[in-house]
Amino acid sequence: MEAFQVISGGVDMQIEFVWKHIREALVVPMVRLAVFLCLCMLLMDFVEKLYMAIVISFVKLCGRKPEKCYKWETIKEDVELGNSNYPMVLVQIPMYNEKEVYKLSIGATCSLSWPSDRIIIQILDDSTDSTIMELVQMECRIWESKGVNIKYEVRDNRDGYKAGALKEGMKHSYAMQCDYVVIFDADFQPEPDFLYQTIPFLVNNPEIGLVQARWTFVNAEECMMTRMQQMSLNYHFKVEQEVGSSTYAFFGFNGTAGVWRISALNEAGGWKDRTTVEDMDLSVRASLKGCKFLFLSSVKVKSELPSTLKAYRYQQHRWSCGPANLFRKMVMEIFTNKKVSLWTKLHVVYSFFFVRKIVIHINTFVFYCIVLPATVMVPEIVVPKWSCVYIPCIMTLLKAVGTPRSFHLLIFWVLFENTMSLHRTKSTIIGLLETSRVNEWIVTEKLGEALLKDKTGGTKVLKKYRFSIVDRIEMTELLVGFYLLYCGCYDVMYGKSYFFIFLYMQAITFFILAFGYIGTFVPKS
């Protein structure tokens, strides 16, 4: 009878009939399954955040400082041995067309307090601009004339990018005489006492293979985008790294501002360029050899955050794609390893890789930007309030503890992170499937002194981007923004809650990033 009425009712009724059955048979079950999977991933993330909050609280309340957990004695000059009591230290600075920051990094590194005959500064210059190469080489000569043992090294190719440069640098005869190697990216500026605070832990504790220092940021106050980055990275260092160091003595090496025991580095197989996260690759391999890592939150090294959206996207692609690809390559190697406990294997595979490097990125975008808005148009599915209000709020507060003075930016931070999760999700999938952009490596643009001062030495007034809308539009963000806007309008018309407020705010954030209207612009002239 119903079919007869539909046939006789015209095209509109036929379309409505077909859509009703497709909706009941396909759309509703698919959305319900998506919600279930997202809730499972949300709970994984929540348990992880809660666990780390408990551990870090215990560490802070009990005062578990590294000096109390490990042997630590200041290295002093011996009357009989003289400076030979100090271990030989190699400091590597990989560079690639670092015009704006090369002076800052070389100057800070050459000012490190350590006996001059027991330290070697190695500049690994992969620059393709001959003018910049000459400037870097000239800077090295200036410091060499001051008595600094500095070596300027170049190679005829960029194979392996940063990993290739570091590996090539270790092949020199003078490098083989060193006991420890310190790595600083070109925008990092260590304090003079950096070696005196880190090396003693390695000297007095042979089981420690890596000492990692904490990053601080010279341009955190530059714009809203750098403030958001500071909040995310502060949580990474103050909580994730601290918890990994305090419990499993394992965390991912950050690629810079760290000191490696060269014997541990070699035993792990040295630098490899099979992924774009050569630092994480090395740290996982070293941990599988039974090597312990130590994070020193009290030792801070100044660095620079990406201040342009383009640079930040490239950085986030590498940081999201690389770990996912490394997980694909190493998961079986980790499980079949016989030198570490099953508990450590589970921590590395499940907590470190699966939850933090895959689940978080994918679920943040899929749940908050796709599935949850879709439920507005599928009233048959009711998403529990704890999953879209209570747990997200608790997790946000737990992550914001690293930067308490930025609490007033929480809403903007959440919206920004949700929007950036689109790129992180794409990059994670690229890494897991190992598609075309999996090994893409674009050096993060740094502004250095140009960021801080103008020609007269005063503070530069940072300017917003000037661009052609047509040239800079990002279609993916734009489409997601329109999708969220449509869901928000649907909720206004047919919904019974105030969910449209979030949808509108998130849509606006996607539009802002779609048109590139975020970050700063420093004129080149």
What amino acid positions are annotated as catalytic residues?
126, 279
Do the beta carbons of residue 241 and residue 249 sit within 8 Å? Answer: no
Length of the chain: 525
Give which of 225, 235, 223 is closest to 413, Cα–Cα.
Answer: 225
- Find where tokens 């497709």 sit: 22
What is the distance, to the nearest Å, from the Cα of residue 105 to the centroid of all Cα atoms in its chain? 21
Quick count: other Cβ atoms within 10 Å of Cβ 415?
21
In the structure encoding, which two tokens stand for residue 230, read together?
């500071």
- Residue carrying structure tokens 């990125």: 361
Nearest-5° Cα angle at 379, 377 to 384: 110
What's the start-to-end Cα distance of the chain, in Å? 77
Cα gap 472→313, rounded to integer Å: 13
In angstroms, the Cα distances linking 233 to 46, 63, 130, 239 are 18, 23, 34, 10
Tell me how far CA of residue 330 lies from CA of 3, 282, 343, 434, in angstroms. 57, 11, 17, 14
Alpha-carbon distance of 259 to 479, in angstroms, equals 45
CA distance 105 to 89: 17
Instruction: Say how far apart CA 412 and CA 410 lie, in whole Å.
Output: 6
